Chain A
Amino acid sequence: MTSVTEARRSEPRAPGPSRRGRRAVDHGPWFLVLPALIPILVLSVGPLLHGILLAFTDAQSGRTEPTRWIGTLNFQDLLQDTLFWESFRIGLVWAVGVTVPQFLLALGLALLLDQDLRLRWAARALAIVPWAMPEVVVGIMWRLTYNPDAGILNETLRDLGFGGDRDWLSGLATALPAVIVVGVWAGMPQTTVALLAGLQNTPRELHEAAAVDGAGAWRRFRTVTWPALRPVALAITALNLIWNFNSFALVYVLTNGGPGGRTRLPMLFAYEEAFRYGQFGYAAAMGCVMVAAISVLLAVFLVGRLRGGDER
């Protein structure tokens, strides 16, 4: 039994209007919330607020100088810091560069898997692999693949007569694209699975009716599949965008931000600022800027999502 069916079954059972009236005043057994609430407050909400405050101090490693409030000095420095904005730009290129192909490839795969094809089971099984793997292993694996001498990529290119003399991860021009490919690979399965589940929720009768009407594949997709898939697609894309913008381990293992900072994502930049150079306050300011950027992205998506809801 799959939980897809569970989810479907549960849909109509979500508290109906008749019950809702009664429960609106019912605060429920509030003490049941405490075990989750306390750790969240202490280890998540609290630190976040603390982190925002830190951004206005000169907190740094070492015990020789006390921490002082410095107002917005960190943010002023940050405005001047061309390296950070370069990293920010790389972060956006990375986030979009991963999310868009991820979505398109995943959509293609999901549509294929929704067909009655013979090798479907193999693809489904394989789709689990990148999802389940520790990110560190994904990074190591692709390092082996990209290795200029001992890697399979160059060897294959050599066999096909395309040269194959590139050091993908340390070439200035190739590093970011190479890392993006890994990002797409690693995140595609999850997106596929979500989209596939969404596809399987689209009413099959509508499809068949449209086919009987003589609608072509593209029109069927536009008029029947996409409207049903839209909420799932939007949600998973928004999440992907956020996750990708915040990703760390993959690039840490693959290039550690190199060559020449070409793959230094904002997360990596802030991590280094805090835990390599010990500039805690400055790094917290970077974190704040990243939160702001993500909030804008999120807002844009939520607006899009709401509008999508209206159209339905």
Chain B
Amino acid sequence: MRTRPAARAGQYAALLAYLVFLAFPFVWLASTAFKPATELAGLHPAWIPQDPTLANFRQAFEEQPLLRAALNSLLTASAAALVAVAVATPTAYVMARHRSALARAATGWVVVSQAFPFVLLIIPLFLVLKNLRLIDSLPGLVLVYVVWSLPFALWMLTGYVRAVPAELEEAAAVDGAGRLRTLVSVTVPLLAPGIAATALFAFVTAWNEFFFALVLLKTPEQQTLPVLLTRFIGAEGVADLGPLAAAAFLATLPSLLVFALIQRRITGSLLAGAVKG
């Protein structure tokens, strides 16, 4: 398709504007993270640190239990991701292959659950978990994250299951394999990349999650990264911009990494869900 040069130039200008808008806060975060305290206290901040330093990172690690929180986040997010896919895969399979009332109800729930504000959920959940003595414990948080990531996991996985030809399973069934065997030995391997993508997505969701962690985790040793990061912002405003930026910068890296890996897949299932949903 031909486009007039003027229009093309306009398109480039617009694209550039978008690039600037998308990038500049992140660039600023990175720049602040590497600035020495004297530059941060000055009244005329510059884009590029004149005297880049790792002092902020050191200070962040020294002053706050950053490693501990990162470990908590890692454990919670991995456990939640693994349990979520383990639990969701069979259900997604049934939802994709069978049109039973149960499957329909599950699909309905996936949609409806998006609409509920967390407050209505968190108050009773808090009381339930309190009775199970799971307040302030990572396993309790894992449970919540599993339930919380199930809707999207089901949504994604159902799409992947549909992409696996049913004929393959039927062939295996003809060979005399039982239902469960078929599922485990034929379908799951074909689904593996999809399951991995779903698990990674659930991982990032849990890694980034803040609200439930804020309400459910109490002692500092249990805190996850997002909760810890809000602790850097003192009661009287931001006291230490540098270490705050450094810690925030570090906390983002794993999410970015994982997202770079799976972005295309999520896009696909988002689309599939939106079109079919």
A98: shortest Cβ distance to chain B, in Å?
15
- Asked if residues A13 and B162 are in contact (CB atoms below 8 Å), the reply is yes
Closest to B101 in A: A27
What are the residues of chain B within 8 A of A188 when measuring CB–CB?
22
- Of the candidates B100, B165, B269, B275, the one whose C-beta lies within 8 Å of that of A27 is B100
- Of the candidates A23, A39, A132, A295, the one whose C-beta lies within 8 Å of that of B204 is A132
Alpha-carbon gap, A14 to B99, bound state (A): 11
What are the residues of chain B within 8 A of A26 when measuring CB–CB?
98, 100
- Asked if residues B100 and A30 are in contact (CB atoms below 8 Å), the reply is yes
Assess whether B53 is interfacial by the CB under 8 Å rule: no
* Total residues of chain B contacting the partner, CB 8 A: 114
- Asked if residues A231 and B99 are in contact (CB atoms below 8 Å), the reply is no
What are the residues of chain A within 8 A of B118 when measuring CB–CB?
246, 248, 267
- Of the candidates B163, B166, B270, the one whose C-beta lies within 8 Å of that of A6 is B163
Given contacts A13-B162, A28-B98, A284-B123, contact A137 B268 (CB under 8 A): no
- Of the candidates B87, B226, B251, B271, the one whose C-beta lies within 8 Å of that of A201 is B271
- Asked if residues A7 and B268 are in contact (CB atoms below 8 Å), the reply is yes
Interface residues on A, range: 35 or more
Assess whether B81 is interfacial by the CB under 8 Å rule: no
Q: Which residue, of A43, A145, A198, A288, has the highest number of chain B Cβ atoms within 10 A?
A: A43
A57: shortest Cβ distance to chain B, in Å?
11
- Of the candidates B123, B180, B204, B215, the one whose C-beta lies within 8 Å of that of A280 is B123
- Of the candidates B43, B93, B143, B255, the one whose C-beta lies within 8 Å of that of A133 is B255
Interface class of chain B by DSSP:
helix
What are the residues of chain A within 8 A of B44 when measuring CB–CB?
155, 158
- Asked if residues A137 and B252 are in contact (CB atoms below 8 Å), the reply is yes
What are the residues of chain B within 8 A of A36 when measuring CB–CB?
87-88, 90-91, 106, 150, 154
Alpha-carbon gap, A288 to B265, bound state (A): 35
- Of the candidates B100, B115, B230, the one whose C-beta lies within 8 Å of that of A253 is B230
A128: shortest Cβ distance to chain B, in Å?
5
- Asked if residues A37 and B119 are in contact (CB atoms below 8 Å), the reply is no
Known: A7-B272, A271-B119. 9 other contacts (CB 8 A): A3-B159, A15-B166, A33-B94, A47-B128, A120-B15, A185-B21, A208-B1, A246-B118, A287-B123
Listed from nearest, the 9 A-B pairs whose CB atoms lie closest are A3-B268, A287-B120, A28-B98, A132-B259, A32-B90, A50-B124, A7-B272, A36-B91, A134-B208
Write the residues of chain B forming the contact surface with A, with a CB cutoff of 8 angstroms: 1, 3, 7, 11-12, 14-16, 18-19, 21-26, 28-29, 32, 40-45, 47, 86-88, 90-91, 93-94, 97-103, 106, 109, 113-125, 127-128, 143-144, 146-147, 150, 154, 159-160, 162-163, 165-166, 179-180, 183, 194, 197, 204, 207-208, 210-211, 214-215, 225-226, 229-230, 232-233, 238, 241, 244-245, 248, 251-252, 255-256, 258-260, 263-277
